[in-house]
Amino acid sequence: MSIWTDFGFRASPYGTEPIPATEEGDRLLVGRDKPLSSLMATITSSALHPTIEGDNGVGKTSLVSVASYRLHRKFQTGETGQALIPLRSAFQLSASDTADSFAHRVYYEIAQGFIEHEPELRARGIDVPSTAAVDKWLNSPVFTTTGGGGSILGNGAEFTRGTEPGSSGFGEAGFASAVRTWLASAFPDLQAGGFVCVIDNLELLETSKAARTLLESMRDGILAVKGLRWVLCGARGIMRTTASSQRLEGRLREPMDLAALPDVDVEEVMRRRIEVFGVGSDVLAPVGPRGFRHIYELLNRNLRNALKYCEDFAFWLHENQDTATTDDEVFALFEVWLTTQSDAAFTATTLTPKAWEVFDGIVSRGGSISPSDHPDFGFKEMANMRPYIKALEETQLVVSSVDESDKRRRTIGVTSRGWMVNYARSGYKLPERLTS
Ligand SMILES: Nc1ncnc2c1ncn2[C@@H]1O[C@H](COP(=O)(O)OP(=O)(O)O)[C@@H](O)[C@H]1O
Ligand SMILES: [Mg+2]
């Protein structure tokens, strides 16, 4: 028995996870026709790997999921012979990764992918290794003594390597070359297909220099392996700067900019979720299409943050209110709740007038700026703006990171708390939609 059952849902309609590569995911994805077809075209037809640049929570990972799901479907239904197979999860890079450690993780996942999809690939005449052959490697000392096999199953982020010198050197190299051989015979060319692999959240590497260096070191390695179709995603301008590297030019396609879903489409996002997660006819959505659009605009068009606030409100509603029974009544309560939340956040925030001025300036520029925008704020030097940014960070109105390698990146951005505070501060006006 969950609170969602009480509202008439089988699960939360406000989950913030990316849309999965499933049929249900395909139903949940709203809009995005153009980016979907462009992404699918690059995956199926270009030697270059597609890249996507877009704010956090805008829908990058979801877009890639649905594109890979549809490509896989086309193969499954026989519409095409090009076997494009999504992996179970996306990869992320961290500062401690090297080209080798990353490649190892990838090959492990590919081996799993071969096992999982063997019947389907074999049935279509594709030359795949036998499960027994793959298993032999996965149970070999390469994995069992490095402890590597298990940890990736979780989130794909951690991978522990053995520290015993030379314990697995030969094994690892042998494993990598075995996987490459399997890939080359299953997918001799692009037309044959490949595994669709995702490097997500490139901005976790913090600086574009780190991202570029790491990706450049993979240029002739994992990014050039036959049978692997990569999709790279990043936020805050890191994908854009990275893809402009000369060395990666022959590998990566110029980034596709994913903009926020248009305000009008956003009501449909909630309609679909209510449809997909609702059971029976007695459904009362704590936040319906209209409320969702309101919070979406209030939070400056961030789907993930908007969903999170909806869930918070659902919990509040469940605990505090059981007389609201119509959509209009819950919408009215939601508006009041938002005003209260926003007032409380504003009241709890103490800043100097100059810091407020900087905050308002960031808001009026669409919610993100780069350190090099300092002259617009009346500062001669970047360093002069820094203390104000710091004060805004400490009160959690903005987040910022420093990228010494690219000071024009918009690494200073208003948080969802910041947008809530702005709502009270601006007399409950919704931020205007700026296109940058
Ligand atoms: N086109 C869309 N239609 C409906 N929901 C979406 C769409 N794009 C994203 N979402 C939802 O918005 C949230 C953020 O999407 P996600 O793909 O994780 O964003 P990003 O990868 O850009 O940070 C997720 O909960 C996802 O389910
Ligand atoms: Mg994502």
pLDDT digits (tens, 9 = 90+) for 351-365: 999 999 999 999 999
Report pLDDT for 61. 97
Rounded-to-integer distance, Cα 165 and Cα 156, Å: 24
Q: Tell me the CA–centroid distance for residue 160 and ligand 2, in Å.
A: 24
Which ligand 1 atom minimizes the distance to the CA of 200? 21
Rounded-to-integer distance, Cα 332 and Cα 291, Å: 9
Q: What ligand is nearest to the CA atom of residue 91?
A: 2
Contact 49, 232 (CB under 8 A): yes
Pocket test for ligand 1, best of 62, 204, 271 (most atoms within 8 A of CB): 62
Q: What is the CA radius of gyration of the chain?
A: 24
Q: Is residue 24 part of a domain?
A: no
Neighbouring CB atoms inside 10 A of 3's CB total: 15
Looking up residue 197, the CATH number of its domain turns out to be 3.40.50
Q: Is residue 177 part of a domain?
A: yes
| Residue having the nearest C-alpha atom to atom 23 of ligand 1 | 57
Looking up residue 360, the CATH number of its domain turns out to be 1.10.10.10
Residue 58, ligand 1, Cβ within 6 A = yes
Which of 257, 277, 293 terminates a domain? The answer is 257
Nearest Cα to Cα of residue 196 among 231, 238, 160: 231
- The upper half-sphere exposure of residue 113, i.e. CA atoms within 13 Å in the direction of its Cβ, equals 24
Contact 83, 193 (CB under 8 A): yes
Residue 305, ligand 1, Cβ within 6 A = no
Domain encompassing residue 412: 353-425
Instruction: Classify each residue of 289-304 as buried b or exposed e, where b means 16 or more C-beta atoms within 10 Å of its C-beta.
Output: bebbbbbbbbbbbbbb
Q: Is residue 226 part of a domain?
A: yes
> Do 70 and 214 lie in a common domain?
yes
The count of domains in the chain is 3
> Do 153 and 135 lie in a common domain?
yes
> Do 277 and 293 lie in a common domain?
yes
Which ligand 1 atom minimizes the distance to the CA of 303? 12
Going 352 to 427 to 267 to 9, the CA torsion angle's sign is positive
> Do 368 and 338 lie in a common domain?
no
Rounded-to-integer distance, Cα 65 and Cα 160, Å: 27
Contact 258, 63 (CB under 8 A): yes
Which of 324, 347, 370 terminates a domain? The answer is 347
Neighbouring residues of the ion ligand 2, judged by CB less than 5 Å? 61
Q: Which two tokens stand for residue 368?
A: 């993100």
> Do 53 and 135 lie in a common domain?
yes
> Do 220 and 288 lie in a common domain?
no
Q: Tell me the CA–centroid distance for residue 201 and ligand 2, in Å.
A: 6
> Do 223 and 296 lie in a common domain?
no
Beta strand 412-414 pairing with 51-53 = unpaired
What angle is formed at CA 200 by the lines to CA 197 and CA 205, rounded to 5 degrees? 130
Rounded-to-integer distance, Cα 279 and Cα 261, Å: 27
Q: What ligand is nearest to the CA atom of residue 92?
A: 2
Percent of the chain residues topping a pLDDT of 70:
93
Task: Determine the angle formed by the axes of helices 169-186 and 99-123, rounding to 10 degrees.
Answer: 40
Residue 18, ligand 1, Cβ within 6 A = yes
Which ligand 1 atom minimizes the distance to the CA of 30? 3
Q: Is residue 417 part of a domain?
A: yes
pLDDT digits (tens, 9 = 90+) for 249-300: 889 999 999 999 999 899 999 999 999 999 988 899 999 999 999 999 999 9
In sequence order, the 6+-apart residues with CB closer than 8 A to the CB of 349 are: 395, 397, 421
Q: What ligand is nearest to the CA atom of residue 199?
A: 2
> Do 168 and 92 lie in a common domain?
yes
Report pLDDT for 51. 97
For residue 369, give the H/E element and its range. strand 368-369
> Which CA distances in Å does 380 have to 16, 87, 358?
41, 49, 14
> Do 229 and 119 lie in a common domain?
yes
> Which CA distances in Å does 268 have to 271, 273, 283?
5, 8, 17
Rounded-to-integer distance, Cα 84 and Cα 72, Å: 5
Report pLDDT for 154. 39
> Do 199 and 76 lie in a common domain?
yes
Contact 190, 80 (CB under 8 A): no
Which ligand 1 atom minimizes the distance to the CA of 64? 17
> Do 251 and 145 lie in a common domain?
yes
Going 271 to 272 to 276 to 277, the CA torsion angle's sign is negative
pLDDT in tens, the chain (436 residues): 799 999 999 999 999 999 999 999 999 999 999 999 999 999 999 999 999 999 999 999 999 999 999 999 999 999 999 999 999 999 999 999 999 999 999 999 999 999 999 999 999 999 999 888 888 888 877 776 554 444 443 344 334 444 343 444 557 788 899 999 999 999 999 999 999 999 999 999 989 899 999 999 999 999 999 999 999 999 988 999 999 899 998 899 999 999 999 998 999 999 999 999 999 888 999 999 999 999 999 999 999 999 999 999 999 999 997 788 899 999 999 999 999 999 999 999 999 999 999 999 999 999 999 999 999 999 999 999 999 999 999 999 999 988 888 888 889 999 999 999 999 999 999 998 876 4
For residue 400, give the H/E element and its range. strand 398-400
Q: Is residue 17 part of a domain?
A: no
Q: Is residue 21 part of a domain?
A: no
